[in-house]
């Protein structure tokens, strides 16, 4: 017996409240957050019971196999009242592209890493209830009475707070410096991409730029997460994954894939526009063509393994604060059982974050972007012992490490793209996180 998971019913509070609770177990590192609108459940986690990692091009399969071995020895014990809790799950993500060596701020993340938190506060699901989960290794069991006392302390701490209360988080005092990629450097990057497209080596390249913030005082991660929640966004996933002193967080509008049994759900998010009229994007040929490339890429990836792939003929519009996207929901039924990471491996990277054709576009990104993307635009999310799970594309995201933050945003470059307009688009995409950090875009 290598892993024991205890689950107890818990008071229904905001996920942020658990992360900000005063009980000792709620102050453990690393922290985790998965807050997805309309998802089976949300999770806030603290500490680490088990970590599964993978490296190189085989990182997807490595994580699946290593997780399968860990789950095989799992004892899932539900205390009275927690019988209908969701299955235990591993939370984490994978890099956009594997790297032989990772530099700051990505040194603790690696090519792929998923964790079963020591403490998990799970809410939602079909029951609309909440649960507190404790993950223990065999070596922890001699101190089981101490762990049970800690569980009772956390439950008592959460019970003292009304359900409506949530962590607030004030901005850190002091000025902050913002350093962005200059428009000149961006123009050179886009011009190179346009040259490849003009030569018909590629049809689309998604170029990304990074901005860096340096604050006068340590940045309050929980405050940033709370402000992201208040800023909202239709259908967005708010997430956070901490490794050592760095926390990768964001609020992405793009789900990569979710799997329940053989039921597959994904979506194409591509084509962006700013302005008050969200519907105007439907009349823009460039955005429609860019979106069609992504839909076609998903169809090619999932069509051979699904029966009855359902793809609407026309996209809808995902309206977000400051920016709008074309969106096409896609559903299918697997012909044979697969793990959600097997689906992610077939889909990632979609043309929405790399380009088309995929391999040469990704190669261009790795060779030409001045900063490694790390987990930016990579798959993040969770999966359970049955291989069910949900993964999002980690865009609208950044890393916070003490007084510094790094923020990424990308834009799809196609024939006719204007560097100045694309620079403004990436600025609009960085704006919510910059605002959460206390800065104007």
Active site residues: 204, 254
387: number of Cβ within 10 Å: 19
- Distance separating alpha carbons of residues 410 and 189, to the nearest angstrom: 12
- Distance separating alpha carbons of residues 159 and 175, to the nearest angstrom: 37
- Distance separating alpha carbons of residues 26 and 19, to the nearest angstrom: 6
429 membership: H or E segment, kind and range: helix 419-436
- Distance separating alpha carbons of residues 143 and 140, to the nearest angstrom: 6
CA–CA distance from 324 to each of 233, 320, 428 (Å)? 11, 6, 10
Residues present in the chain in total? 441
At 82, give phi and psi (nearest 5°): -115, 20
Hey, CA dihedral for 185, 186, 192, 198, is it positive or negative? negative
- Distance separating alpha carbons of residues 223 and 230, to the nearest angstrom: 11
Specify which residues 93 forms β-bridges with.
113, 380
């Amino acid at each position: 017996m290598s892993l024991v998971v205890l689950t107890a019913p818990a008071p229904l509070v905001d996920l942020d409240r658990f992360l900000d609770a005063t009980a000792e177990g709620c102050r453990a590192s690393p922290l985790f957050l998965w807050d997805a609108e309309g998802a089976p459940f949300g999770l806030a986690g603290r500490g680490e019971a088990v970590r599964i990692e993978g490296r190189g091009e085989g990182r997807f399969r490595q994580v699946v196999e290593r997780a399968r071995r860990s789950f095989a020895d799992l004892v899932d014990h539900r205390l009275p009242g927690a019988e209908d809790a969701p299955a235990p799950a591993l939370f984490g993500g994978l890099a956009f592209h594997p790297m032989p060596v990772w530099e700051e701020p990505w040194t603790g993340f690696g090519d792929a890493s998923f964790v079963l938190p020591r403490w998990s506060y799970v809410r939602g699901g079909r029951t609309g209830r909440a649960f507190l989960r404790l993950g223990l290794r065999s070596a922890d069991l001699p101190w089981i009475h101490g762990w049970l006392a800690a569980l009772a302390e956390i439950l008592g701490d959460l019970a003292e707070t009304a359900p409506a209360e949530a962590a607030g988080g004030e901005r850190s005092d002091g000025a902050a410096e913002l350093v962005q990629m200059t428009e000149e450097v961006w123009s050179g990057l886009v011009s190179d991409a346009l040259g490849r497209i003009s030569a018909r080596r590629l049809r689309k390249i998604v170029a990304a730029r990074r901005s860096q913030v340096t604050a006068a005082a340590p940045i309050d991660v929980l405050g940033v997460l709370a402000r992201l929640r208040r800023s909202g966004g239709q259908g967005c996933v708010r997430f956070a994954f901490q490794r050592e002193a760095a926390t990768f967080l964001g609020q992405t509008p793009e789900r990569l894939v979710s799997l329940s049994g053989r039921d597959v759900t994904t979506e194409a998010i591509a084509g962006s526009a700013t302005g008050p009229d969200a519907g105007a994007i439907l009349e823009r040929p460039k955005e429609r063509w860019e979106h069609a490339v992504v839909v076609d890429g998903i169809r090619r990836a999932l069509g051979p393994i699904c029966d009855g792939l359902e793809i609407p003929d026309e996209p809808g519009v995902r309206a977000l604060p400051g920016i709008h996207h074309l969106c096409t929901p896609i559903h299918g039924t697997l012909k044979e059982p697969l793990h959600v990471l097997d689906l992610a491996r077939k889909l990632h990277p979609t043309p929405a974050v790399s380009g088309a054709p995929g391999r040469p576009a990704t190669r261009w990104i790795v060779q030409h972007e001045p900063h490694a993307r790390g987990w930016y635009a990579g798959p993040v999310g969770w999966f359970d012992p049955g291989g069910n799970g949900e993964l999002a594309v980690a865009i609208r995201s950044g890393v916070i490490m003490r007084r510094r933050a790094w923020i990424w945003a990308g834009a799809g470059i196609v024939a006719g793209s204007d560097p100045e307009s694309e620079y403004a688009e990436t600025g609009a995409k960085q704006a919510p996180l910059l605002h959460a950090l206390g800065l104007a875009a």
